[in-house]
Amino acid sequence: MHQSIRPICRISALLLTFTALFAIAARADEVDKPRTFRVERFQVEGNSLLPSDAIASVVAPFGGGARQLSDLYGAAEALQTLYREAGYPVVQVALPEQKLDDGVVQLRVIEGRFKEIQVNGNKEYSSEQIRTSLPSLKEGTSPQVRQLDRDIRQANENPGRRLAVNLQPGGALGEIKARVDVSDEKIERYLATLDNTGTRQTGFWRLGLGYQHANVAQRQHVFSFQYVTAPERLKDVQVLSAGYRIPLPAQASSLDLMMAYSNVKAGVTPTVVGSLFFAGEGAIFGIKLTRRLESLPEWEHKLSLGLDIKDFRNECALGVFGAAGCGEAGASIALHPVTVGYSGGLVQPAMQAQWNLSWSRNLPGGGRGGREDFITARALSNPHFSVLRAGASAQWPLMSQWMLRLGGQLQDTRDALVMAEQFGVGGAQSVRGYAERAASNDRGYSMNLEFYTPDLSNWLNVSNASLRGLLFLDSGTLFRNRRLATETGETAGTRLTSVGIGLRASLGKNWSIVSDLGHVMETTSGRAQGAQHVHFSLNGTF
């Protein structure tokens, strides 16, 4: 589950202290009626953070003609609100003691600035590394909390540590001390996974081994690697993947490099029209630049731009029909999609939500990437295809620690897509009860509704563990573009629906189990109505 976004920069105590230090005073005679002053303009001293015209516009309504003392306080309060809305909550605006005879009212701005920055608790990362990851935290600058919060969230994407920043008043007026608290995690981790996402032809079980290093060459780079195979058929299933993340804190960005390689041999399967032989080999290389935007209250979001190079080489033959009998599944194709994405998250006491939106367009060309290659892979397909994808999920805490979760995925396009880019439904992360990617097509959507029980580990008197049950309803619908006259039934469109029960268990930070029993409600994609299937996965981190 998605972790909650927690406020990290604590400034409330600092604000209270500054408020106590900054006295707003003015001289006024004791008279029966409120005294008025001629106010022609405001003179603001001490500002270096906001544009002068913005300041002038916000205090202008409180000037002009005869004004009372409450109007002057209103101008100071309006200016301080402007600073807070701009992300400078520790800046204070004072109305100093002054003579109000000449029509000019002075407002004094006290911009709190960092005097001292301390880093505590770091063991695996140097203090210099921690400070480099927080570029907005510098001596002599005034804290811009939205930028600081963005920097903290960006730094905490590194899996080897968690940072929190506390702001405190310094020894003199306008001075601020910052303390960065570091909670180190393991910078090296080993991972093991076991699940039943395979097929009858290649073996039902998948075993994965992984490694992760969160501070490569003491540069805070993150390297990850995973190898997946089928225990029953080690030589026939080989899947390798690796990723490398380079943080760019000064730009509030990160650069991700990734590659994946798979070699799957399904062997020979008897069919009514002859023996089916299939072997698939694929390689994917990708690069993605992600820019984290300034955080808003209870809201974080990012923009990304990426390029993938996908090369799929398949060998397939079906009885006397040979390669032609395999259709789209036997075609080899190369894809080069460019993707622009936006993602974000929202956390409120009554709800947590995450979403993502992306648009991809393919750049044709190269070996196996031309128009004829696409036509071979799918009649009427377009090598210049574009695809819109979206996903969202939300969860609501209910009474007595029950929880409701709703999630969905969507793909839309006008083009006829090759199989590798189609929207797939079915499997442990989609419509449970069906095989992994049991059906796919050009357009589609899927939905998951889940109702979670409270943590049952306390009832079972099990410490350092979590155990929750759930009920679920899954559904997925597919549509086909530019359908040929010969395409009917499931080829034209498909719907998958299932209901079931599940279990989520964890032991400490090292082990977790996910298990779901899905009951099929729609007869399609090799599963009859009423069929049941158990999805299982075991994950360990060391």
What's the N-to-C CA distance of the chain in angstroms?
20
Supply the pLDDT for residue 281: 85
Instruction: Tell me whether residue 1 is in a domain.
Output: no
| CATH number (domain holding residue 525) | 2.40.160.50
Instruction: Tell me whether residue 364 is in a domain.
Output: yes
- Least reliable range by pLDDT among 254-268, 367-381, 403-417: 254-268
- Exposed / middle / buried, residue 541 (Cβ in 10 Å: 0-12, 13-18, 19+): middle
The last residue of one of the domains, among 54, 78, 110, is 110
Same domain? For 92 and 179 the reply is no
Supply the pLDDT for residue 523: 87
Percent of residues in the chain assigned helix, strand, coil, to nearest 5? 15, 50, 35
Q: C-alpha distances in angstroms, 221 versus 180, 185, 213, 247, 257?
A: 20, 15, 8, 7, 11
Supply the pLDDT for residue 330: 65
Q: Looking at residues 251-277, what average pLDDT do you find?
A: 70
How many Å apart are CA 64 and CA 103, to the nearest integer? Answer: 9
Same domain? For 393 and 506 the reply is yes
How many Å apart are CA 386 and CA 397, to the nearest integer? Answer: 38
For the entire predicted model, the pTM comes to: 0.88
Q: How many CA atoms lie within 13 A of 263 on its CB side?
A: 7
The answer, yes or no, to whether residue 280 has pLDDT greater than 90, is no
The answer, yes or no, to whether residue 99 has pLDDT greater than 80, is yes
Instruction: Tell me whether residue 18 is in a domain.
Output: no
Supply the pLDDT for residue 489: 54
Buried/exposed 117-139: b ≥16 CB within 10 Å, e otherwise: bebeebebbeeebbebbbbbbee
Supply the pLDDT for residue 486: 66
pLDDT digits (tens, 9 = 90+) for 473-509: 999 999 999 887 666 655 567 999 999 999 999 999 9
Same domain? For 376 and 360 the reply is yes
Supply the pLDDT for residue 430: 97
Q: C-alpha distances in angstroms, 51 versus 54, 113, 293?
A: 5, 18, 22
Domain of 292, in residue numbers: 189-330
Supply the pLDDT for residue 60: 95
| Banded pLDDT at 264 (limits 50, 70, 90) | confident
DSSP classification of residue 422: S
Instruction: Tell me whether residue 64 is in a domain.
Output: yes
Buried/exposed 89-111: b ≥16 CB within 10 Å, e otherwise: bbbbbbbeebebeeeebbbbbbb
Supply the pLDDT for residue 488: 60
| Banded pLDDT at 268 (limits 50, 70, 90) | very low
Same domain? For 123 and 97 the reply is no
Instruction: Tell me whether residue 340 is in a domain.
Output: no
Mapped onto helix, strand or coil, the DSSP state of residue 172 is: coil
Supply the pLDDT for residue 222: 98
The answer, yes or no, to whether residue 306 has pLDDT greater than 50, is yes
What average pLDDT is seen over the chain? 88
How many Å apart are CA 477 and CA 493, to the nearest integer? Answer: 8
Supply the pLDDT for residue 241: 96
Same domain? For 355 and 406 the reply is yes
| CATH number (domain holding residue 153) | 3.10.20.310
User: What are the structure tokens assigned to 221, written together?
Assistant: 């780079």
Q: Looking at residues 376-385, what average pLDDT do you find?
A: 92
Supply the pLDDT for residue 189: 97
Same domain? For 159 and 132 the reply is yes
Same domain? For 300 and 364 the reply is no
| 119: nearest Cα among 179, 183, 185 | 179
Q: Looking at residues 205-232, what average pLDDT do you find?
A: 97
Q: Looking at residues 340-349, what average pLDDT do you find?
A: 95
Whether the CB-CB separation of 149 and 135 falls below 8 Å is answered with no
| Banded pLDDT at 316 (limits 50, 70, 90) | low
**Tally of domains in the chain:** 4
Mapped onto helix, strand or coil, the DSSP state of residue 125 is: coil
- Least reliable range by pLDDT among 21-25, 107-111, 366-370, 497-501: 21-25
- Least reliable range by pLDDT among 189-203, 461-475, 488-502: 488-502
- Exposed / middle / buried, residue 400 (Cβ in 10 Å: 0-12, 13-18, 19+): exposed
The last residue of one of the domains, among 275, 298, 330, is 330
Q: How many CB atoms lie within 10 A of CB 154?
A: 25
Supply the pLDDT for residue 23: 41
pLDDT digits (tens, 9 = 90+) for 20-58: 444 443 343 444 457 888 999 999 999 999 999 999 999
The answer, yes or no, to whether residue 65 has pLDDT greater than 50, is yes
The answer, yes or no, to whether residue 121 has pLDDT greater than 70, is yes
Residue 446 C-alpha from the chain's centroid: 19
| 10: nearest Cα among 133, 186, 148 | 148
- Least reliable range by pLDDT among 315-329, 355-369, 424-438: 315-329
The last residue of one of the domains, among 330, 365, 385, is 330
Percent of the chain with pLDDT over 70: 87
The answer, yes or no, to whether residue 19 has pLDDT greater than 90, is no
User: What are the structure tokens assigned to 499, written together?
Assistant: 């209901």
Q: Looking at residues 308-317, what average pLDDT do you find?
A: 82
Instruction: Tell me whether residue 6 is in a domain.
Output: no
Supply the pLDDT for residue 101: 84
Supply the pLDDT for residue 54: 96
Same domain? For 439 and 526 the reply is yes
Q: What torsion do the CA atoms of 427, 430, 431, 434 make, to the nearest 10 degrees?
A: -10
The answer, yes or no, to whether residue 214 has pLDDT greater than 70, is yes
Q: Looking at residues 55-79, what average pLDDT do you find?
A: 94
Instruction: Tell me whether residue 341 is in a domain.
Output: no
Instruction: Tell me whether residue 10 is in a domain.
Output: no
Same domain? For 321 and 470 the reply is no
Write down the H helix ranges in 351-489.
371-377
| 487: nearest Cα among 442, 444, 527 | 442
The answer, yes or no, to whether residue 272 has pLDDT greater than 70, is no
The answer, yes or no, to whether residue 9 has pLDDT greater than 80, is no
User: What are the structure tokens assigned to 23, written together?
Assistant: 């006295």
- Least reliable range by pLDDT among 27-36, 67-76, 92-101, 141-150: 27-36
Q: Looking at residues 274-291, what average pLDDT do you find?
A: 77
Same domain? For 262 and 326 the reply is yes
Same domain? For 353 and 444 the reply is yes
Sheet holding 161-169: strands in order across? 9-10, 161-169, 175-184, 113-120
DSSP classification of residue 519: E
Supply the pLDDT for residue 12: 47
Supply the pLDDT for residue 1: 40
How many Å apart are CA 449 and CA 527, to the nearest integer? Answer: 21
The answer, yes or no, to whether residue 5 has pLDDT greater than 60, is no
Same domain? For 165 and 273 the reply is no
